[in-house]
Chain A
């Protein structure tokens, strides 16, 4: 494949562009593949990718795949065999914690499906039968089996969340929320706590055409007050709205000047501690 960047460099900053020409798109594709784009640039790259002709999209996919598979300059060390179990245990442990944390949410409007998932499968029946036999003779194995069943139940609860939480969200977040879901004029920002605390989610939908928006917070800390901020392309930061976590799901609609929306960055800050969401 010919080298895509043999031409001389340009000094354009690319900061305020809303779409990219193919050459720049390929240039950004390299930076994206190496994880070097800031979130806002990454979003813009993704949007430009979707708007690009199919041939350019294919070229980008191929280039990024080549870069991902390139091991020529990597060390030749191989992972120790013991690492496999550590990784699988780490994922299972995180999944268990997450399922336990979200279990109350799964019950919102999903009790029936959760119960069905928990007791309805033949795999579970077999497991219980096996457990009953083992329980009869060996009390030590009881503990192990019980833990295993608990973990599988948590997994089932997670499946139930995935299939039923949407309805619950609509009920709790209010009717305003619905008009932002799947709206082609809405850009959705996913915010996570900057300090690495995995609890809680914030999603901010901004309607680029009409200038209004909606923030939804899920499973935030009790009574946590979050300020949602917007930063314009010119670097001016202002408060869009704020929410207080007085229930597992909180949401609020807000208005903003449509002329400020293009290229706006959304962040959030804890009103009490000052900790940031990005």
Chain B
């Protein structure tokens, strides 16, 4: 978009509380933020609440945006994902490590709690793509990204080195993206 205001200038105006700048930020990214929110929360009302909170958080953190390090869309989606993961962590009662170990000795890759993501038509593509990953990659993505466990918690649950968890997670997320792009181009 050639006439679009540069990222840094827009965020400087957002940081100063200019209404027009917040409107511009919303118009640019509301669709992305809403889609991700509804994927995580699977409930329209909760997703709408989350979108409001996310844009408030974007306003509060606008002065920290550094256009030399990242594009604005990267920053917006980072804040969005962090917020949604925080929300899941607050919302979900998760077993303590000791309880988890006692209850899940059968299979380290068995999911400790139901995933926050609903298996419905809305997320069909995501579920199909997850099934194409290795068991390790699928497990770490479900636990760290969709269930809100920290990487250290996942590492302890799976009795796997933290570096292995990070590598599996990183590769799995990239494979998911590749799979998504392939599906999108084949339609």
Contact = CB atoms under 8 A, between A and B. Distances in A.
Interface stretch (B76-84, B92-100, B101-109): B76-84
Interface residues of B, number: 70
Interface residues of A, number: 58
Interface string B46-84: 001001110110011000000001110110111111101
A49 B151 contact: no
A77 B38 CA distance: 8
A71 B125 contact: no
A10 B23 CA distance: 45
B119 to A, nearest CB: 13
A65 B32 CA distance: 13
Contact of B125 (A9, A67, A73, A86): A73
A37 to B, nearest CB: 8
A80 B30 CA distance: 10
Given A14-B162, A72-B125, A87-B51, A36 B171 contact: no
Interface string B154-187: 0000000111101111110110111111011000
A28 B163 CA distance: 11
**In terms of DSSP, what is the predominant structure of the interface of chain B?**
helix
A158 B16 contact: yes
Contacts of B30: 79, 83-84, 87
A32 B34 CA distance: 20
Contacts of A91: 22, 55-56, 59
A73 B71 contact: no
A251 B24 CA distance: 38
Interface string B129-145: 10000000000000011
Contacts of A66: 177
A75 B122 contact: yes
Contacts of A69: 32, 73
Nearest to B162: A13
B147 to A, nearest CB: 12
Contacts of A65: 70-71, 73-74
Nearest to B83: A35
A46 B126 CA distance: 30
Contacts of B79: 35
B31 interface: yes
A13 B152 CA distance: 10
B59 A94 contact: yes
Nearest to B29: A68
B51 A27 contact: no
A15 B34 contact: no
A166 B157 CA distance: 47
A187 B161 CA distance: 28
B111 interface: no
Given A30-B170, A71-B32, A75-B122, A162 B16 contact: yes
Interface in A166-225: 198
B28 to A, nearest CB: 12
Given A10-B163, A68-B74, A90 B151 contact: no
Contact of B167 (A9, A49, A72, A198): A9
B123 interface: yes
B17 interface: yes
Contacts of B85: 35-36
Interface string A1-26: 00111000111111100000000000
Contacts of A9: 163-164, 167-168, 171
A75 to B, nearest CB: 4
Contacts of B129: 73
A78 interface: yes
A40 B22 CA distance: 30
Nearest to A66: B177
Nearest to A70: B177
27 contacts: A3-B174, A10-B163, A13-B162, A14-B162, A14-B166, A15-B162, A28-B166, A30-B170, A32-B78, A33-B77, A35-B79, A36-B145, A36-B151, A61-B69, A64-B71, A64-B74, A65-B74, A67-B173, A72-B183, A74-B36, A78-B34, A79-B30, A79-B31, A83-B48, A87-B26, A92-B19, A92-B22
